[in-house]
A and B are shown apart, each in its own frame.
Chain A
Amino acid sequence: MVHLTAEEKAAITGLWAKVNVEETGGEALGRLLVVYPWTQRFFDTFGNLSSPSAIMGNPKVKAHGKKVLTSFEDAIKNMDNLKDTFAKLSELHCDKLHVDPENFRLLGNVMVIVLASHFGKDFTPQVQAAWQKLVSGVATALSHKYH
């Protein structure tokens, strides 16, 4: 279970208030598929993923990225109870989607990089550290129901 201090929670929510969920989600998911091409295996039905520009411009990638980041919003609203918040999604990712949990860590780190590129100096080492704890907590919560 991840334990975030009041300061860390404030750093996270403070930044989140300025995040464009739709754009950031699409960019994070797109970059995951570009930087770690084996993750494309989960998205056979998404159409053209043949190049970085095809991936980043793909409407299904953008839509799914938005979905993923919207569920991240749930994490931010429930930072003290990530396990229960992601219980259903954890079952889905294990039993139906068969996604290796390592991919949650990869996506979490890509998200941190995207946030850094958007927020520049506001993304201080302290803010980054808080977000690393959160994405790690989400990855753990999503892995929780695996068996």
Chain B
Amino acid sequence: MVLSATDKANVKTFWGKLGGHGGEYGGEALDRMFQAHPTTKTYFPHFDLNPGSAQVKGHGKKVADALTTAVNNLDDVPGALSALSDLHAHKLRVDPVNFKLLSHCLLVTLALHHPADFTPAVHASLDKFLATVATVLTSKYR
């Protein structure tokens, strides 16, 4: 799977319209994931996972910032996320199936807040982008 020039343009343009709400959306996506897919909570025994949790909001901002880094480096996502890739491989070891779950909840969140911009073509590009990020984050697992 390769991000075409159109995909990159779609992702950059859409991300530019988030208006500084990226962190908020990251938190919301995590919240949705914990509620819809409770097995994901296993990676956060040290967190208060109740809706509105400050820890979840803080972590959501971390996730959003990492995605923004990827958006700003679409020509070299592996390079841009190399440290995070190491972290997920050697320390966090999040089972790969969970990236699909978080990606889905991110798409739900983005579609909800920006329905007009979330056209089918943009939806496809964002899905590919998140899949690319997931692949990079699991690339050093073994």
Whether chain B is bound by chain A comes out as: yes
Residues in A lying within 8 Å of B, measured CB to CB: 30-31, 34-35, 52, 55-56, 109, 112-114, 116-121, 123, 125-126, 128-129, 132
Q: Knowing A113-B107, A113-B111, A121-B112, say if A128 contacts B121 (CB, 8 Å).
A: no
CB nearest neighbor in B for A120: B112
> Is B36 engaged at the interface, CB distance under 8 Å to the other chain?
yes
Decide: A132 and B36 in contact? CB cutoff 8 A: yes
Interface size class of B (residues with CB under 8 A): 20 to 34
- Which one of B31, B37, B111, B127 lies within 8 Å of A116 (CB-CB)? B111
> Would you call the interface of chain A mostly helix, strand, loop, or mixed?
helix
Complex CA gap A125/B32 in Å reads 5
Contacting residues, chain A, for B104 (C-beta < 8 A): 109, 112-113
Alpha-carbon distance A125/B25, docked complex (angstroms): 12
Please tell me if the beta carbons of B112 and A55 are within 8 angstroms of each other in the complex. no
A52 touches B119 (CB 8 A): yes
Q: Of A34, A118, A128, A129, which one neighbours B120 at CB under 8 angstroms?
A: A34
Task: Out of B37, B51, B124, name the residue touching A35 (CB < 8 Å).
Answer: B124
15 inter-chain pairs at a CB distance below 8 angstroms, sorted by A residue, are A30-B120, A34-B120, A35-B124, A52-B121, A52-B124, A55-B120, A116-B111, A117-B115, A117-B118, A120-B115, A125-B32, A125-B51, A129-B32, A132-B36, A132-B37
Bound Cα distance A126, B36 (Å): 8
Would A118 and B115 be within 8 Å (CB), given that A30-B120, A34-B120, A113-B123 are in contact? yes
- Assuming A35-B127, A116-B111, A116-B112, is B35 touching A126 (CB within 8 A)? yes
Q: How far is the CB of B19 from the nearest CB of chain A, in Å? A: 16
- Contact (A128, B111) CB under 8 Å given A52-B119, A109-B104, A117-B118: no
A125 and B112 in contact, given A55-B120, A113-B107, A113-B123 (Cβ under 8 angstroms) = no
CA distance A55 to B31 in the complex (A): 33
Are A34 and B108 within 8 A (Cβ)? no
Residues of A within 8 A of B115 (CB): 117-118, 120
Q: Which of B92-136 contact A (CB under 8 A)?
A: 104-105, 107-109, 111-113, 115, 118-121, 123-124, 127
